[in-house]
Structure 1
Amino acid sequence: MADGKRKTFKRKSEPEDGARDSTDELRNYLSSDFASLRDEIHREITSRDILLRKLEESVTRLSEDIAPVKDYVAAEMEEEDDDASSQSSDSPEGGAPQDGDQETEEERNNRAQNRCVDVMMSLTEIRMNNEEKTQKVRGFYEKIYKASPFTSLMLKFLERNGGVKVLIDCDSSNISNLGGRLVNLDGEKCNGTAFLTFADIFECRVYLGGVSGLFRLYKRGQYVNETFDPEVSLAQSLAQMVMYLTFKNRGCPYACGDEMYEKLYEKIVLETSQKKESVIMDGCVYHAFSMKSSLAREVSLISVVPGMLVKYGSNEGMSKLLEQVPLLTFFFIHHVIPKMRS
């Protein structure tokens, strides 16, 4: 079935002039553009002024050429589906079928999902737990897993690495019952009532208030009410934990000392900040920029990608991401995802 999807994608993407337009070509097109940007940064890495000028020129060109990303993303997501199906069908875990049995793609995917969600549930502590709360929290993980191949990869990463503890209060929209005073990324000590969710990356703990509701958000000169979805916030906090475990750099999506990707990401953050003043963006973006310090904004902004995929689903979420934050999405796909895989 996955092969059928790939064939459908290629037929749909085939240009009228008969030129070859495959996933590999899209990948090569984008990889070469991104590689060119990296090479330019590397050559000028000793001069900050020249570096920033090169970044400006390169990111501008990349922004103009961003349209093919939609096709690239579709191909990447199909490839993730195929990889997940292949791995789950080859694995002896979870009751793999014996010779002669025929397991459908859907059954293989469900088995892989159940195994991953089971592991995440084993890492989760629910305050005053009961069967209803267990099913509710399980639903959070299932929604994150199903949202996109990128978000399921995030859970698989945590499944493989372990060490993360998730604490959830299903009776509150904040985390006041789960811990005392916490220090946020801006360095401020706050009570639990100030947090809907919180990722304590140094303790490898994620806190979540599991009740949906509304919160006030400052957006384009005025305060508006935004819906708080626990599964979206959980996905964003888990993403921050994955960034920390992957790059070991306080939750930033690049390794310590990797000046090339650091400067590139700073440029993307700056462009996104400027763009949000002229283009209406999702509340996840505005919430990231409500942080005071550059560190907090950087850590929060990268988690917007999985957050919006869970919030809107795979197709609509990716469409909104490519429309509102294309360079951030490109950075996540081309830099973060490969690091998570490796």
Structure 2
Amino acid sequence: MTSNISTVNSEAFVKERLFAGLSTGSLLQHKDLVDMLKDVDIRGMWQRTPLHEGVRLGKADWVEELLARGADPHLMDDSRESPLSAAQEMVRLFPNDPQRLQVLKLVTLVHRRDEAMVQRRNISPSAPTASLLHGTSSEVSRSDSEIASLKTCVDGLRQEMKSLFAQMSSSVTEAKDQTHGHYPLLPSHEAAEPWTGESATDAVAGLGDKTSALSSDAIEERHKCIEAMLGKTRMVQGDRFDRVRWFYERIYDRDDFTALMLKHLSVESEVKVLVDSESTNIRKMKQKFTDLNGLTGKGNRWTVFADLESGTVYLGAGEGFSYDLVAGWFARALSQLSQKLLFCNGGRPYEREDSESEHEWKRVMDEVDEEKRCRGFLLDRWIHYAYRKISSLAKDCYMAATVPGIIARSGSAAGRYRLLDNVPLLFAFYSNHVVPKMLVKTKSNDVA
């Protein structure tokens, strides 16, 4: 992966994948991206640095590495929050989380080190020795010019450290393998045009240098996954198979999470997808059904529905709604089915006997409840929608499925930031519990 990204020299690609990698896993899985950074304090959405995000997520391994590379714990984001103040706030919110306590300790140590350096430098070397001997060192005057000079010196040291790591990383990247991590990363085509009658594969062919960032293995893996999903898909009404292909490719290309979800479903034998490409609802395929609340639903009011009992997803793919919105609905329904097959717990994102994960999930729902009270309708509407479900099963299933749903709807960067800004524990739970399970299941089926 490293050499491919280096070929196109896409700093924006590295930046996007780095911020995404902060959320998806450990530093070890994405360290090659950190090695490629020219500036460790690169700014993302809301002017947050990687250190900001690592602190907010409680990723001690990331925070330690970023601080070692000269990341500044005092930089402010758009809300005037620094990594230091964010670390303090996270410990206040999660006082029993050892990772967040470790993060606060790391950031505080660097802050104290910087303060000590400032204090030492503020004692003027030209001050009379006699005054120091007589205990009057605290009275040494400090002019504004001296303070400014000191700050410049400290910033210069930090920049020198960043430059040194950049030089080291340029030589390290040459020695790395062509592929790294658990599966190939794909660029997120955030600016892709709406469907125009051609498949997304045809559109990819016109992206020029971006396609060179994909290895032949990654392209082949993508093609196999899409074809496998199309093999599980049946057109009940209409013949717009190219339109359905576009939705699969759109979901796959959006993000690593959504791609992995499709890869998992593509190797599950009981998955079925029924499509009406002439209508925006599923009435002709499913007039009535019982939803997870135990209530009767009408097909003319639903564009997408996941029947978890039969392992079938119904999609009304006709013209009428925005393509990204339908892609989001479709991804959310597919995710519900994926969860049912992964955990065999009705659609909940954890197994029946896994009390630890169940406890973690309860913390997620408690956070949703708290954010709903604090933010009201400023909370993402799909999180609201999941929270309003009647039964606990429906709430759990829909809430977990909002992660790939929102990402497919909004794109990789915007979707992840939306989730992290709304309910960070939800995103962390999906990253740490659902994604690893999909990886294991997909690999085991590939081997079989």
TM-score, normalised by the number of residues in structure 2: 0.54
Alignment partner, residue 429 of structure 2: 331
Matching residue within 237, 245, 265 for 1:138: 245
1:84 aligns to 2:183 (yes or no): yes
Alignment partner, residue 304 of structure 1: 402
Residues 93-147 of structure 1, C-alpha deviations (whole Å, 9 max, x = no match)? xxxxxxxxxx9552523322121111101101122332xx111100000010001
Residues 150-190 of structure 1, C-alpha deviations (whole Å, 9 max, x = no match)? 11011111112232000111222221111232110110122
Counterpart residue identity of residue 2, structure 2: A
Q: Could you say which structure has the larger radius of gyration?
A: 2
Alignment partner, residue 372 of structure 2: 276
Matching residue within 123, 126, 140 for 2:232: 123
1:207 aligns to 2:314 (yes or no): yes
Alignment partner, residue 161 of structure 1: 268
SS of 2:237's equivalent?
A: coil
Deviation of residue 84 (structure 1)? 3.2
Residues 46-89 of structure 1, C-alpha deviations (whole Å, 9 max, x = no match)? xxxxxxxxx975369859969x9xxxxxxxxxx99854349xxx
Q: Is the 8 A contact 2:272 2:311 kept in 1?
A: yes
**Which has the larger displacement, 106-115 or 262-271?**
106-115
Give the distance between the partners of 2:180 and 2:406, measured in 1 at CA.
19
Alignment partner, residue 2 of structure 2: 2
**Which has the larger displacement, 163-172 or 136-145?**
163-172
Give the distance between the partners of 1:154 and 1:63, measured in 2 at CA.
33
Give the distance between the partners of 2:286 and 2:437, measured in 1 at CA.
32
Alignment partner, residue 357 of structure 2: 261
**Unpaired runs of 5+ in structure 1?**
16-20, 31-54, 69-78, 87-102, 215-225
Give the distance between the partners of 1:199 and 1:80, measured in 2 at CA.
35
Which runs of structure 2 are paired with 1:1-342 in the superposition (5 Å)?
Answer: 1-3=1-3, 4=6, 5=14, 7-10=32-35, 11=37, 14=40, 29=61, 57-58=95-96, 82-85=181-184, 105-106=213-214, 108=216, 109-130=218-239, 133-211=240-318, 213=320, 229-279=325-375, 280-342=378-440
Counterpart residue identity of residue 58, structure 1: N
Aligned CA distance change for structure 1 residues 112 and 128 (closer, same or farther; 3 Å)? same
Deviation of residue 284 (structure 1)? 1.4
Counterpart residue identity of residue 324, structure 1: N
Displacement over 3 Å in runs of 4+: 3-8, 10-15, 26-30, 55-66, 79-86, 211-214
Give the distance between the partners of 1:210 and 1:271, measured in 2 at CA.
34
Give the distance between the partners of 1:143 and 1:206, measured in 2 at CA.
17
Deviation of residue 274 (structure 1)? 2.6
Give the percent of matched residue pairs that are identical in Structure 1 and Structure 2: 28
Q: Is the 8 A contact 2:367 2:423 kept in 1?
A: no
Give the distance between the partners of 2:336 and 2:312, measured in 1 at CA.
11
Deviation of residue 286 (structure 1)? 1.5
Aligned CA distance change for structure 1 residues 28 and 64 (closer, same or farther; 3 Å)? closer
Deviation of residue 207 (structure 1)? 0.9
More strand by share: 1
Give the distance between the partners of 1:310 and 1:171, measured in 2 at CA.
22
Q: Is the 8 A contact 2:253 2:259 kept in 1?
A: yes
Counterpart residue identity of residue 183, structure 2: A
Counterpart residue identity of residue 367, structure 2: E
Give the distance between the partners of 2:350 and 2:331, measured in 1 at CA.
19
Aligned CA distance change for structure 1 residues 321 and 128 (closer, same or farther; 3 Å)? same
SS of 2:329's equivalent?
A: helix
TM-score, normalised by the number of residues in structure 1: 0.70
**Unpaired runs of 5+ in structure 2?**
7-13, 15-30, 42-50, 63-92, 107-177, 186-210, 441-448
SS of 2:267's equivalent?
A: helix
Aligned CA distance change for structure 1 residues 187 and 62 (closer, same or farther; 3 Å)? farther
Q: Is the 8 A contact 2:252 2:258 kept in 1?
A: yes
Aligned CA distance change for structure 1 residues 247 and 62 (closer, same or farther; 3 Å)? farther
Alignment partner, residue 75 of structure 1: none
